[in-house]
Amino acid sequence: MGFLGIQGGGGGGFWLPRAASTGAAPVDALFYFILAISVVFFALIVGLMIFFVVRYRRRAGQGPQPSPAHNTPLEITWSVIPLAIVIGIFAWGFKVFMDLATPPANAYEVQVTAQKWSWLYTYPNGHVDDVLHVPGDRPVKLVMTSEDVIHSYFVPAFRVKRDVVPGRYSTLWFEALEPGEYQVYCTEYCGTGHSDMLSKVVVHPPGGFEKWLEDASNLLNTLPPAEAGERLYRSRGCIQCHSMDGAAAIGPTFRGLVGSQRVMRSGTRLVADENYIRESILEPQAQIVAGFEPVMPTYKGRLKDEEITALIAFMKSLAGEKGEEQ
Amino acid sequence: MTAQHATQPAGAVSVPMENALGGENYLNHGRGLWSWLTTLDHKRIGIMYLVSILAAFLLGGVFALLLRTELLTPQQTIMKPDTYNQMFTLHGAVMIFLFIIPGIPAALGNFVLPLMLGAKDVAFPRLNLASYYLWVTGALFALVSIITGAVDTGWTFYTPYSTTTSTSVISMVFGAFILGFSSIFTGLNFVVTIHKMRPPGMTWFRMPLFLWGLYGTAIIQILATPVLGITLLLIIAERLLGVGIFDPALGGDPVLFQHFFWFYSHPAVYIMILPAMGVISELMATFSRKRIFGYAAIAGSSIAIAVISFLVWGHHMFVSGQSNLAGMIFSFLTFLVAIPSAIKVFNWTATMYKGSVWLATPMLYALSFLFLFGIGGLTGLFLGALATDVHLHDTYFVVAHFHYVMFGGTVMGFLGGLHYWWPKMSGRMYSERWGRIAALLIFVGFNVTFFAQFVMGSQGMPRRYYNYLPEFTPYHVISTVGSYLLGLGFLIVLVYLIHSLVKGQPAPANPWGGATLEWQTSSPPPHDNFSREPVVDDPYDVERWRWDEALGGYRRQEQPASA
Amino acid sequence: MSQTTPHDPHLAHHFPDAGTQFEAGKLGMWIFLATEILLFGGLFCAYAVYRANHPEIFIYAHQFLDKVLGGINTAVLIVSSLTMAWAVRAAQLGHQRALVRLLAATIALGFVFLGIKYVEYEHKWKEGLLPGKRFTHQAAAPPAAAAPADPDPAPVAAAGDSSVIAPAARGPAGLASPSTASQEKAHKVPRNVQIFFGIYFSMTGLHAIHVIAGMITLLWILRRAARGEFGPRYFTPVDLAGLYWHLVDLIWIYLFPLLYLIH
């Protein structure tokens, strides 16, 4: 089967990436079965085609030979055999799909919120993070919804994908086979940052997840404010639109922001002090800096006061050279 | 009934063989731009459609090459993310709405359909012209959209993205709405023409298979396009008036939009492929110098495809959250629709058996079609099966699959048909040598471009990605190089076709030995299509047409060739 | 067909005879009518989906429609169908004056229909019974959604800046939250009433556009009839316009009970 690019084990092959969940193996088996069927039929048709073209190519002084214009038994055969095969593929595909449709009752549940252009994971204790950390020794169920447009949650290594739709919840589950980091993509087109709407699943070895969750939930108390702010900057999606290095992206950079003069769309000028930053986080549409679009979602109810304070401390730590703002 | 179509006794037949460039033909019947713009002649309307859709194809192709160039490297290569997003939307919208849907029916079909029926025109010539101007209007709206900031929604216009983005969605959507009516009018015209204007002696089962393909297409155009129309109107209403039917914030359901959209857009896939299949049937018979194998099965499968195509739209939504029951039903029906397509492929292959296969340029495209459509169809099995679709949905595997079907299928059929009927349309032959070189280049370039996309897709590369992870770079580089080969192939086609218009050898009435009625009139045909009434008989009795050296073309034998 | 004559001025050059031409025209019109039905079919589907999922919205909101005016309009259109069918008959029989008068009557009834529709629309406009985000009707709007700019009624608990409620734990926009659900019960006003008016205006609006298109067609036919172009040997345009007009009536006959008479 080498020519089909099939590789056993979890290493990943020519066709499919590493298979890292309990649900991946049955999907892969079906994939390779269809691949084998396809190769056989393709070889048959193209082989015959090439054979006929060569064998019956036009030659001087030789016309077509008499042959029937139809043959009922032959035509029935080549209709019924493919029909039986595709019904088999259908049944197999449906069975695997249904086996993977229902999450086990003991699944660990994480809430997922999609927004342009980041994934936020909310753990049962209220902690929010931008990387999905999960225990490696039990199934995980994601309950997902979107704040704005439709997104889609895709983990290739787990062979799972589900649309994330505003106004409703969709679910997805998996059970990882071994600890490690796995890539997450958004696969429903959602605008400018669609291809950067990436995330990771970190599968912890037994016991590791609980320890991580405890540390992560406590960062405001254990870290200096600016450092905690930087964690929040990365984990709450700010980083998707606001750079640290002075380059304007979808939103203004955070470098040198605090204390700088800002020119608004309306033409007014104001100083970006703490209250302005706070307002911009909670009421993003209230003041839009000239040159940017009003696309930021509100963080009202999603960031606590001390978190905003930590973020402002982080921004202050990014103070740029005097005069380079604007 | 008049006797004008009645079959004349064998022996009294003399079919015009002459090239009519020097004499009276539809090209010099009426001179000046105005005579073209106001023409009711289906041939001229077909030619105007052909020029227009080729311009659209060029535009869409340039977009494609720019996209592939951008994807040569991760991050920015030549354009910004928003530009990229607009460009893939325009590539899709232009190729689908402006080129591939009207491509074969409105351009080739308009020219050929009445000729194949031995008729003087389609049933409603004025509606035909109106349909062309609707196309132009729709294209203008699309252009307005491009100029006023383009759209970045993807050609699928999914809500709520399409109702909230700040780009100029309305003019593009309205353009697509108008193009839909253009398509409906073409389909309506064809159905009525085929029903009411077949000549005596041409029963349904003595109709050329291209007409069966166009008939199936027309049914889908008529029955599916209005649903797209209302869906697009609702998007406009949503943006202009905030109606909220698809807006979750107002209690609406965005997934309902997907159902509406795919109720049209899946059958639309068959609007694109069915006429191409019809072309392939003609090419296979003519260039194998043999009767088509399994005529009834091919004709019937066109209609079967047209009917089943209405029942499979949900397979675009296996991961959207529709119920498992719906997923099961749509998956099952999707597999059923594979069978008629498979039957056609087997029949075409069998047609070559014991034939006399002539590898002229149109036949090279027909063989490319078999090869590429074979891959496109078989990879559909991965996407029709629920479990594997979950992994492959919205990845490059899907992109590769539909390009193999749409490009490898429809565009190959279109190119085959264009080369096949080119002498009839223009009255001149193109360079056979350059034709073959270009066909080979397009075949190779196509496979290099899109096969790599299957692999990266199954490895997990999502579609519509401006940026990508470094591990996908080799696939993208291969794909981009292939797209340049492909572009070069099309450039060659463009050059030698234009060259042939000026310097090409005058074409005989029947350069290929086709047995359908359009080969019984001069190349190019006169204004009224036939200066002498064509002899209506078996459309696949190609052996009756024999090469005549003196004529430089095929001549119809007085006696049937069947031994 | 016996109508065929060698020099029939209405016979296009590409048809073998007038009978074929008439049949082709008729078939073409029927196919066109099928596409029109499918155009409305999308809206009927939307209606069916939302009514099945949210029957309470429809039962509540339809009270705001005026059954009497709707009923009168139904009668108006039925009578106009009668005058139209009569006009076709008059054309076939060559009754020139009757044809012109009946066409004029049909068009006049079209104006009556649109006038009544205007009265209904204006009433809805004043009451704020409008689709989607423009819906401002006070009695029907859920209290928290009174401000049209913010259709997402934020639960009181989430309003505080220091809320501990994480984003995903909060209902996403458009899902009912428990607090507003209880308010609805008290007022007996279902959420998302605007959906009904979205569907109402889409359906009746599209229908009204079709009425106008039909009237323009009939005006054109009337002009040709006044010039005496139609008679027993050539009445295809009258016949086809009549088919179109009947379709427009027929769609209304479905719209009326579906929108006005809900139980």
Minimal-distance CA residue of chain C relative to A305: C162
Residue B197 sits at the chain C interface (C-beta within 8 Å): yes
Distance of CA B452 to the CA centre of its chain: 24
Q: What pLDDT, on the 0 to 100 scale, is given for residue C185? A: 46
- With a cut of 50, which residues of chain A have pLDDT below it? 1-3, 8-9, 321-326
Contact B241, B208 (CB under 8 A): no
Q: Which residues contact B239 (CB under 8 A, 6 or more apart)?
A: B162, B163, B169, B170
- Find out if CATH 3.20.20.70 is the number for domain B42-556: no
> Can you name the residues that pair with A182 across neighbouring β-strands?
A201
Task: Please indicate whether, in this complex, the C-beta atoms of B393 and A170 are within 8 angstroms of each other.
Answer: no
How many other C-beta atoms are found inside a 10 Å radius of the C-beta of residue A221? Answer: 8
Q: Which two tokens stand for residue A175?
A: 């059970």
Question: Which residues in C lie closer than 8 A to residue B533 (C-beta atoms)?
Answer: none
Is some CB atom of chain A closer than 8 A to the CB atom of C53?
A: no
CA distance B99 to B64: 14
| Burial profile B203-240: b = 16 or more Cβ within 10 angstroms, e = fewer | eeeebbbbbbbbbbbbbbbbbbbbbbbbbbbbbbbbbe
Measured in degrees and rounded to the nearest 5, phi and psi for residue A203 equal -95, 120
Nearest to B359 by CA among B443, B286, B448: B286
Residue with tokens 């009904």: C196
Closest chain A residue to B288, measured at CA: A64
- Residue of chain B minimizing CA distance to C40: B230
Dihedral angle over CA of B420, B425, B427, B429, nearest 10: -30
In one-letter notation, the amino acid at residue B392 is L
Q: Is B260 in Cβ contact with C172 (below 8 Å)? A: no
Q: Which chain C residues are closer than 8 Å to A171 by Cβ? A: none
A-B C-beta contacts closer than 8 Å: 260
For domain A108-217, give the CATH number.
2.60.40.420
The DSSP-derived string for B308-336 is HGGG-GGGG-TTTT--HHHHHHHHHHHHH
Q: How far is A170 from chain B (nearest CA, A)?
A: 7
Does residue C169 carry a pLDDT above 60?
no
> What pLDDT sits at residue B458?
94
pLDDT in tens, B11-48: 433 334 578 888 888 988 888 899 999 999 999 999 99
DSSP string over B196-256: H-PPTT--GGGS-HHHHHHHHHHHHHHHHHHHHHHHHHHHHHHHHH---TT-GGGT--HHH
A2-99, CATH topology level: Helix Hairpins (1.10.287)
Contact between C42 and B260 using a beta-carbon 8 Å cutoff: yes
The beta-carbon neighbor of B249 closest among C27, C32, C151 is C151
Q: Vertex C43, ends C41 and C47: CA angle to 5°?
A: 115
Q: What is the pLDDT of residues B304-345, one digit of tens each?
A: 998 898 999 999 999 998 888 999 999 999 999 999 999 999
CA distance A185 to B476: 18
CA distance A113 to chain C (A): 5
- Smallest Cβ–Cβ distance between B120 and the set C13, C173, C199 belongs to C13
Secondary structure of A61-95 in the HEC alphabet? CECCCCCCCCCHHHHHHHHHHHHHHHHHHHHHHHH
The first and second tokens of residue C102, run together, are 């009946």
Q: Where are the domains of chain A?
A: 2-99, 108-217, 223-317
All residue ranges of chain B with pLDDT < 50 are 1-16, 563
The three-class DSSP label of residue A121 is: strand
Q: Quote the minimal CA–CA distance from A237 to chain B in Å.
A: 18
Q: Count CA atoms within 13 Å of residue A78 on its CB side.
A: 21
The answer to ipTM > 0.85 is yes
Contacts of A74 in chain B (CB under 8 A): 350
% residues pLDDT > 70 (chain C): 76
Any CB–CB contact under 8 A between C150 and chain B?
Answer: no
| Per-residue model confidence (pLDDT) at position B130 | 95
| CB atoms A97 and B327 under 8 Å | yes
Sort residue B421 into left (φ over 0), alpha (ψ -120 to 50) or beta. Answer: alpha
Distance CA A165, CA B540 (A): 53
Cα dihedral: B97, B102, B107, B113 (round 10)? 180
Inter-chain CB proximity B5 and C16 less than 8 Å: yes
- Domain A223-317 in this protein, CATH class: mainly alpha
Looking up tokens 């889609």 gives A152
Whether the pTM exceeds 0.80: the reply is yes
Residues of A in contact with B256 (CB under 8 A): none
Contact (CB<8Å) B254/A150: yes
Q: From B349, which residue of chain A is nearest by alpha-carbon distance?
A: A49
Banded pLDDT at C159 (limits 50, 70, 90): very low
Cβ within 8 Å, pair A63-B469: no
- Tell me which architecture the domain covering C18-149+187-260 has in CATH: Up-down Bundle (1.20)
CB B424 within 8 A of CB B507: yes
| Domain ranges for chain B | 42-556
Q: What is the pLDDT of residue B128?
A: 95
Q: What is the pLDDT of residue A33?
A: 95
Q: By the CB < 8 Å criterion, does B247 face chain C?
A: yes
List pLDDT tens digits, range C176-234.
Answer: 344 444 444 445 677 778 888 888 888 999 999 999 999 999 999 999 998 888 888 88
CA angle B314, B320, B326 (to 5 degrees): 40
What's the pLDDT tens digit per position in C218-245?
Answer: 999 999 998 888 888 888 899 999 999 9
B160: preceding bond cis by omega (within 30 degrees): yes
Beta-sheet strand order (sheet of A180-186): A132-135, A199-204, A180-186, A151-155, A160-164
Question: What ranges do the domains of chain C cover?
Answer: 18-149+187-260
Cβ(B232)–Cβ(B180) under 8 Å?
A: yes
B291: which DSSP letter?
Answer: P
Of B214, B182, B197, B140, the residue nearest B49 (C-alpha): B182
Q: What is the pLDDT of residue B216?
A: 92
